[in-house]
Copies of this chain bind each other. A is one copy, B any other.
Amino acid sequence: MIVVMSQGASREQIDAVLRKIEEFGLQTHPIYGVQKTVIGVIGDDKTKVVETMAGYPGVEQIIPILKPYKFASRETHPQDTVIDISGVKIGGDKLAVMAGPCAVESRDQIINSARLVKLAGGSILRGGAYKPRTSPYSFQGLGEEGLALLAEAREETGLPVVTEITDARKMDLFCAYADVIQVGARNMQNFVLLTEIGRSGHPVLLKRGPSAKIEDLLLAAEYIIKEGNRNIILCERGISTFETHTRNTLDLSAVAALKKLSHLPVVVDPSHAVGISSLIPAMSLAAVAAGADGLIIEIHPNPNTALCDGPQSLDFETFTSLMTRIRKVAQAIGREA
């Protein structure tokens, strides 16, 4: 790390900083410039040292040089991590398409959806049983009944299921029903939940929060991986910006960046990012071209009766035709789909 002393820092302040850093067992290399002194520090950028030194008198800025996450970093684990979800691989050559309704609404709806996903070539079924909603007056999901219906749909079609958890107290239930446990954008920094998932070892789809930097997402993954669970799928789903035409702004550069910074697989959720069904096919193809390892797309047998997210759900016909186009783009960049 680099410690930048402020222009007016006294010799005593500089010396106190040097002494303190050396107490932590680290080597210091002060460079006395004309206007400012900077101190190079050799050794691990321990969070504790960074945080301690930041408050020292005369310190203007601490610049960490090493990444604050370790296990999630490609520097410590150069090969791609490939996650096996009941036989479906995520992070390898083959693109994984997860699809299904926003919320499980009924047996018919979820089973029909699952059949269509399978028919069109999707590999995982998505569907919410516990729905976190901005308004307490919106539909909140069927709860445990929804989980049971997802399990039925899996038996019927053989597709593994991914569904969102919102409460750490329900971990056992989710481990019993879900193949992949989703942590939604609102819970990306629910560290209690991340730690429990880390301990469970269960595969997890971790969505980027709407105001989370790329580094924050990797630190959230670090909470899970540090407990021994490497089965993490990162998910870009749009960030909060000033643009109001789309619900959020899909940040596809984050996909390319995450693939460089981390070994974990990255998928994209174009549905929640843009929130307008007519833009979703184009964004799905763009995500594949950007290098995403998969997609998670909302579809509904009848979007205009959906209990949530109707305007951003694709109907079956659109989804089937999109799958054909996804395969072509995947092949164009040397992937299967």
- Which B-chain residue is minimally distant from A191 (CB atoms)? B132
Contact of A211 among B167, B211, B215, B254 (CB under 8 A): B211
Give the chain B neighbours of A304 by CB distance below 8 A.
52, 55-57
List, in ascending order, chain B residues with CB within 8 A of A169's CB. Answer: 168-169
List of B residues within 8 angstroms of A257 by Cβ: 245-246, 276, 279
Q: A31 near B: Cβ within 8 Å?
A: yes
Cβ of A210 within 8 Å of any chain B Cβ, yes or no, is yes
B135 touches A310 (CB 8 A): no
Asked if A288 is an interface residue, CB under 8 A from chain B, the answer is yes
Q: Using a CB-CB cutoff of 8 Å, which residues 224-260 of chain A contact chain B? A: 226, 239-246, 249-257, 260
* A: contact size bracket: 35 or more
Q: A42-B33, A278-B260, A305-B52 are in contact. Are A243 and B252 (CB under 8 A)?
A: no
Chain B residue with the shortest CB-CB distance to A134: B219
CB proximity of A295 to chain B, nearest CB, Å: 12
Among the listed B7, B36, B132, B249, which residue makes an inter-chain contact with A253, where contact means beta carbons less than 8 Å apart?
Answer: B249
**Out of B191, B215, B240, B276, which one reaches A166, CB within 8 Å?**
B191
Q: Which of B210, B242, B253, B311 contacts A250 (CB 8 A)?
A: B253
- Cα–Cα distance between A307 and B32 once the two chains are bound (Å): 28
Say yes or no: is A199 at the interface (Cβ < 8 Å to chain B).
no
| A303 interface hit (Cβ, 8 Å) | yes
A132–B189 CB distance below 8 A:
yes
Among the 9-residue stretches A106-114, A144-152, A174-182, A327-335, the one with 4 or more Cβ atoms under 8 Å from chain B is A327-335
A273 to chain B: closest CB distance in Å?
A: 7
A29-42 vs B, CB cutoff 8 Å, 1 = contact: the mask equals 10101111010101
Copies per complex of this chain: 4
A116 to B186, CA, bound (A): 37
A79 to B37, CA, bound (A): 24
Asked if A216 lies at the interface with its beta carbon under 8 angstroms from chain B, I say: yes
Query: In the complex the two chains form, what is the Cα distance from A42 to B35 in whole Å?
Result: 9
Could you say which residues of chain B place their CB within 8 Å of the CB of A274? Answer: 253, 256
Q: Report the nearest B residue to A328, measured CB to CB.
A: B332
**Interface hits, A28-73 → B, CB 8 Å:** 29, 31, 33-36, 38, 40, 42-43, 46-48, 51-52, 54-57, 63, 65-66, 68-69
As a 0/1 sequence over residues 294 to 337 of chain A, the CB contacts with chain B under 8 angstroms (1 = contact) are 00000000011111101101000000000001001101110000
Q: Closest B-chain residue to A276, C-beta based?
A: B257
The answer to whether A38 and B2 have CB atoms under 8 Å apart is yes
Q: Is A136 an interface residue (CB 8 A)?
A: yes
Most chain B beta-carbon neighbours within 10 Å: one of A75, A240, A255:
A240
Contact with B along A192-229 (1 / 0, CB 8 A): 10000000000000000111011110010011001000
A5–B252 CA distance with the chains assembled, in angstroms:
26
- Looking at the complex, which one of B4, B186, B239, B246 makes contact with A65 (CB distance below 8 Å)? B4
- List 13 A–B pairs whose Cβ atoms lie within 8 Å, in order of A's numbering: A29-B40, A31-B42, A35-B75, A40-B40, A47-B135, A52-B305, A55-B310, A69-B135, A166-B192, A213-B243, A239-B243, A239-B249, A256-B283
In order of increasing CB-CB distance, the 4 nearest A-B pairs are A55-B310, A211-B211, A289-B289, A332-B332
